Amino acid sequence: MSKNDISEAEPVSDTLENSQSLSQSLGRYRILNEVGRGATAFVYKAYDPQLDRFLAIKVLRPQLALDEEYRDAFIREARLAAQLTHPGIVTIFDVGIADNKPYIGMELLEGATLEQILANQGKLNLKTVLAMTFQLSKALSYAHKRGVVHRDIKPGNIVVLKDKKTIKLTDFGIAQLDDNLTNKGQSANKVMGTPEYMSPEQVLGETMDDRSDLYSLGVLIYRMLMGLPPFVADDLSDLFKQIVKNKPPELHISEDKVQDDLQDLIRKLLQKNPEKRFMNALSLTAELRSIQGKIADKTQPHSKEYVSLKLKWSAVMAGVVFTSMCIGLVVVYFMQFKALSGITFDYGRSIAQSVAYKSSESLLLDDTVGLNALVNDASHNEQLKSVILMDNDNSILAATNHDLVGKNFTPPPDRELMRTLDKTDIFQRQLDDETVLFDIAMPIVYAEKKLGFLYISFSADLMYSASRMTLVTMLVVMMLTLIVVFIITLSLAKRTSNDYQRVTQALNKMALGRIDARLVTERNDEAGLLFSAFNRLANYLEHRFENSDVQRTRTIKQAKIRRQIKPDNQIAETVELDIVSHKDESY
């Protein structure tokens, strides 16, 4: 048997007959056009002139309408569904029989079915899935409280309206109708529903309740997130075997905050035993609200002493790196400044030696023309600010400032001796415009005879510019390093913090009695070992509680048998006390 066998064949003559007979009107409704068809009914767009509105008319197929019991049950179930008035459930306006055709007049929805959306997109993002599921769970909670079970939750029965925010659940009661009639043997062509979304009890033909809808909703959530239902098979018997026996594959999502919560949610919804699922849709709604809150960063309140591990690690690492970088910056800067100073001094000293050597012969010959020519030539060096040549009596013989020639040389004020090398003094001074100059005073010697003195001044701008550039570069490198270290540390700490939070949340669930909580484990490090250890503990506790429940049930049955065999009040009371004692020990 294949899945195709599950849908009823649609005779061509039946389609033509139904289309012709409804080409104009049905009762007071004016039929406009066909908008859809299913295994049990046709759906038309119609106009109600009495109330001046458009609506959808679902008309039972002719061959089913001939079955009196089926037709009556169709009307009865439709009237029961018509009592549901909820924003998430399609509104039923009218139920009746016109021209011997049972029909349902309902709200005309403008939008697309979830089946069409999934066919185009494959799967949906997490926030959209949670928003849809939240609306569906509220609608189901409303219906279940009024005793109506859908029994055919599937994408084709969910309509997403044009606003792309509101969804409507359709076809309440019809699946239940088919199931009830088939149990009575009234429908040979029974539509079993969509196989992938059927619950185990539905597959086995057992009693169904609202928890069967929750199972189908779990399959729907899985389908929207993963792109496929949890159980898929070409052969229907293989599919049913998976639904009844196999565990669903793990859910894989990218949102770390709620991956464990969603996995637990799906696991609980897809439990084979209805007793292990959510007790009702209201409990599911509360769980979905909690998951949505976590995604929206609505974190749980912590004590005043609580400081996130990721902030601690990031702050500590950033502080350590900042301190280390500052120390390194100071050391490197001063070492670089010292090296640049030495290079600058050597450069100025070499220029002074060159000028002194060239001027020695002119001084010896008392050639002032040659001295002035030498000074003028030296003045073309942009770094040299002044050159002064003087005799042994400090009388200026030649200078870049011609006004000084013939005057006695007076050293500039506020100069600071920086270094002395081979009778050469190097000074530093600062001008009013904050320009820093280096002055070099050097004797002019020829054949070991002192002929005079040379005093040159050159700018230190290049040296300080290089130092500033080095400092700025190092500061930029330090800031980039700090940012990179902070981001990497924050990322690693965040991951570790998330691991701790996952374990904490799972333990909190277990403390509240949720022994079905598990952690998704795909890690091959210490965190993965921790998650695996938690899951083993949870499995152990779950099995122990299950065994305790079985043992308690067995004890109760034995007590009932003993009461029947020997209805002595004293003995019965003793057995009752033993049961209570056994219950306390198991927990």
The total of other beta-carbon atoms located within 10 Å of residue 414's CB is 9
Q: What is the mean pLDDT of residues 532-536?
A: 84
Identify the domain boundary among 451, 468, 485.
468
Helix (H) or strand (E) holding 471: helix 461-511
Q: What is the pLDDT of residue 280?
A: 92
Q: What is the pLDDT of residue 199?
A: 93
Specify whether 428 is located in the same domain as 569: no
Identify the domain boundary among 273, 295, 317.
295
DSSP annotation of 120: H
**Taking 90 as the threshold, does the pLDDT of residue 138 lie above it?**
yes
Specify whether 41 is located in the same domain as 185: yes
Assigned domain for 519 exists: no
Specify whether 85 is located in the same domain as 205: yes
Specify whether 262 is located in the same domain as 405: no
Q: What is the mean pLDDT of residues 96-107?
A: 90
Specify whether 380 is located in the same domain as 276: no
**Taking 50 as the threshold, does the pLDDT of residue 192 lie above it?**
no
Tell me the backbone φ, ψ of residue 565, rounded to 5 degrees: -75, -40
The tens digit of pLDDT for each residue in 436-493 reads: 888 989 898 888 888 888 998 888 777 777 778 888 888 888 888 888 888 888 888 8
**Taking 70 as the threshold, does the pLDDT of residue 6 lie above it?**
no
Structure token digits, residue 64: 């089913």
Assigned domain for 476 exists: no
Tell me the backbone φ, ψ of residue 147, rounded to 5 degrees: 80, 15
In terms of residue numbers, what domain contains 538?
A: 526-586
- Give CA–CA dist 105/41, Å, rounded: 12
**Taking 90 as the threshold, does the pLDDT of residue 563 lie above it?**
no
Structural domains in the chain (count) = 3
Specify whether 551 is located in the same domain as 419: no
Specify whether 63 is located in the same domain as 192: yes
Assigned domain for 513 exists: no
Assigned domain for 508 exists: no
Minimum mean pLDDT range among 152-156, 229-233, 571-575: 571-575
Amino acid (one-letter) located at 509: K
Percent of the chain with pLDDT strictly greater than 90 = 25
- Give CA–CA dist 542/143, Å, rounded: 32
Specify whether 238 is located in the same domain as 385: no
- Secondary structure (DSSP) of 92-124: EEEEEEETTEEEEEE----EEEHHHHHHHHSS-
How far is the CA of 105 from the CAs of 26, 64, 88, 154, 363, in angstroms?
11, 18, 17, 22, 123
- Give CA–CA dist 524/532, Å, rounded: 10
Q: What is the mean pLDDT of residues 192-206?
A: 84
**Taking 60 as the threshold, does the pLDDT of residue 334 lie above it?**
yes
Q: Which residue has the higher pLDDT, 200 or 339?
A: 200
**Taking 60 as the threshold, does the pLDDT of residue 2 lie above it?**
no
Assigned domain for 499 exists: no
Specify whether 332 is located in the same domain as 271: no
**Taking 70 as the threshold, does the pLDDT of residue 346 lie above it?**
yes
Instruction: Strand 111-113: give its sheet, edge to edge.
Output: 111-113, 158-161, 167-169
Sorting pLDDT into bands at 50, 70 and 90, what band is 154? Answer: very high
- E strand spans, 53-100: 53-60, 92-98
Assigned domain for 382 exists: yes
Specify whether 190 is located in the same domain as 247: yes
The total of other beta-carbon atoms located within 10 Å of residue 420's CB is 10
Specify whether 355 is located in the same domain as 441: yes
Percent of the chain with pLDDT strictly greater than 70 = 83
Specify whether 259 is located in the same domain as 359: no
Q: What is the pLDDT of residue 559?
A: 65
Assigned domain for 290 exists: yes
Three-state SS at 451: strand
Nearest 5°: CA angle at 263, between 258 and 266?
125
Q: How much of the chain is in helix, strand and coil states, percent to nearest 5?
A: 55, 15, 30
Q: What is the pLDDT of residue 22?
A: 52
Burial class (CB in 10 A: 0-12, 13-18, 19+), 390: buried
The top-scoring range by mean pLDDT among 141-150, 211-220, 307-316 is 211-220
Identify the domain boundary among 468, 489, 511.
468
The top-scoring range by mean pLDDT among 245-249, 371-375, 458-462 is 245-249
- Give CA–CA dist 331/278, Å, rounded: 66
Nearest to 42 by CA among 26, 25, 59: 59
**Taking 90 as the threshold, does the pLDDT of residue 520 lie above it?**
no
CATH of residue 361's domain is 3.30.450.20
Q: What is the pLDDT of residue 30?
A: 93
Residue whose entry in the numeric block shows the structure tokens 């939240």: 134
Assigned domain for 314 exists: no
**Taking 90 as the threshold, does the pLDDT of residue 239 lie above it?**
yes
Q: What is the mean pLDDT of residues 229-245?
A: 92
Sorting pLDDT into bands at 50, 70 and 90, what band is 285? Answer: very high
To the nearest whole number, what is the mean pLDDT of the chain? 80
Bridge partners, 95 (sequence order): 104
- Give CA–CA dist 524/317, Å, rounded: 26
The tens digit of pLDDT for each residue in 395-435 reads: 988 888 888 888 998 888 888 888 888 788 989 888 888 78
Helix (H) or strand (E) holding 545: helix 526-565
Q: What is the mean pLDDT of residues 158-187?
A: 68
**Taking 50 as the threshold, does the pLDDT of residue 40 lie above it?**
yes
Q: Is there a contact between 452 and 446 (Cβ–Cβ < 8 Å)?
A: no
**Taking 70 as the threshold, does the pLDDT of residue 5 lie above it?**
no
CATH of residue 89's domain is 1.10.510.10
Structure token digits, residue 71: 């037709």
Q: Is there a contact between 385 and 457 (Cβ–Cβ < 8 Å)?
A: yes
